[in-house]
């Protein structure tokens, strides 16, 4: 969904501090998340396991001499209730994933498609990488296919904008289902002070039409709503509730159902 030749302009430090962490691909691939207390058992086809605790470091006290059943071991360790997540990983599985993902050029794939490939290789349902609880398979309720379908339905070209009051404003230009241009509100004609008022939403849509493309989806919300959405299990539920309470405004092209998942 992100064109290999996309352009980025007018990205100010305030916006980057607000959204920069969203551009870390590892968080969409890995099961371990920041702040989790995890236990990692790394082995070589069952042999020579090495055990590390994300808080205490190497754990030689757990008496794990080999890994015969990765799933049973992960479940038993998690049942001790010492860790938020237990990972049992075969080094040979990681080597196979790396080889397949890197052995041939992937110039035909967009950036996100490449990381989605790595995700599918890593979590292939085998015992190569087992963790308890398992990876959620979504990011705050959003899946890769859901976002891809949403962008694929956008007219080409079109624009998407997210404005977080007193914080950040990001604008995307979409062509043929791909993000080809990313900018901020600074890349638009002068706008009134951002607010939840209909007048600002109208001015923003007019500016998008004039400088980027016809607006496809536009969200304006408070910083509290933005932070809550990124902390919630289901991001869209928070946005819908905020729109209903008046803490956010959302405009989506009429031919698109915003409730579609």
Instruction: Give the model's pLDDT for residue 4.
Output: 67
pLDDT at 254: 61
Going by C-alpha positions, the residue among 196, 233, 244 that lies closest to residue 33 is 233
Residue 201: both structure tokens together: 């939403």
pLDDT reported for residue 258:
43
This prediction's pTM: 0.77
Fill in the DSSP letter of residue 142.
Answer: B
Tokens of 218: 């536009």
Dist. CA 187–CA 189, nearest whole Å: 7
The residue ranges of the chain whose pLDDT is under 70 are 1, 3-4, 254-261
So what's the pLDDT on residue 70? 97
State the architecture of 2-23+143-252 in CATH terms.
2-Layer Sandwich (3.30)
**Domain assignments of the chain as residue spans, ordered by start:** 2-23+143-252, 31-132
Helices (H), the chain: 13-19, 26-29, 70-78, 91-102, 111-122, 144-152, 198-211, 223-231, 235-245
* pLDDT tens-digit series, residues 192-214: 999 999 999 999 999 999 999 99
Write down the pLDDT at residue 198.
Answer: 94
């Amino acid at each position: 969904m992100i064109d290999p030749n996309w352009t980025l302009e007018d990205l100010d430090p305030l916006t980057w501090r607000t959204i920069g962490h969203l551009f870390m691909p590892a968080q969409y691939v890995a099961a371990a998340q920041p702040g989790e207390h995890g236990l990692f058992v790394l082995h070589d086809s069952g042999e020579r396991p090495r055990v590390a605790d994300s808080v205490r470091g190497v754990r030689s006290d757990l008496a794990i001499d080999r890994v015969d059943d990765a799933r049973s071991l992960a479940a038993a360790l998690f049942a001790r209730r010492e860790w938020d997540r237990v990972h049992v990983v075969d080094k040979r599985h990681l080597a196979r994933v790396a080889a397949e993902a890197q052995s041939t050029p992937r110039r035909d794939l967009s950036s996100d498609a490449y990381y989605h490939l790595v995700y599918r290789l890593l979590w292939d349902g085998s015992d190569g990488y087992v963790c308890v609880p398992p990876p959620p398979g979504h990011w705050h309720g959003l899946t890769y296919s859901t976002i891809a379908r949403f962008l694929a339905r956008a007219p080409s070209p079109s624009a998407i904008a997210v404005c977080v009051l007193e914080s950040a404003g990001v604008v995307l230009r979409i062509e043929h289902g791909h993000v080809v241009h990313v900018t901020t509100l600074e890349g638009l004609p002068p706008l009134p002070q951002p607010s939840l008022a209909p007048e600002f939403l109208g001015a923003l849509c007019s500016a998008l039409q004039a400088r980027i493309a016809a607006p496809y989806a536009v969200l304006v919300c408070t910083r509290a709503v933005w932070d809550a959405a990124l902390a919630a299990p289901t991001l869209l539920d928070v946005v819908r509730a905020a729109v209903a309470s008046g803490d956010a405004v959302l405009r989506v092209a009429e031919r698109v159902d915003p409730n579609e998942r």
